[in-house]
Amino acid sequence: NWLEQLVTGHSLIYVEKQHRMNYYAFILFSIQVGFLFLVRSEVLFLGAETVSVVHISQRITNGSYTALS
């Protein structure tokens, strides 16, 4: 009976460790995603005036062309 308890306790510890590792991996992943998002938004902010104006004008012209046609 003590062997069963030992095995179940060990497996529980293992599950706990796995869960903790998954938690850390998730935190690291979210940090990476947030960092990438920050970097991309930074780039977008830096190139916003040129990119967004061109993109919006293209969008508008495309929309008007499709509306006209």
pTM of the model: 0.36
Give the total number of structural domains in the chain.
1
Alpha carbon distances (Å) from 66 to 52, 57, 59, 61: 20, 14, 10, 8
Lowest model confidence (mean pLDDT) among 6-10, 29-33, 44-48 = 44-48
Using the structure block, give the residue that is written with the tokens 């062309």.
65
CA dihedral 5, 7, 13, 16 (to 10 degrees): -100
Print the domain residue range for 64.
2-68
DSSP E strands in the chain: the ranges are none
Render pLDDT for 46-65 as a digit per residue (tens, 0 to 9). 655 555 566 666 666 666 55
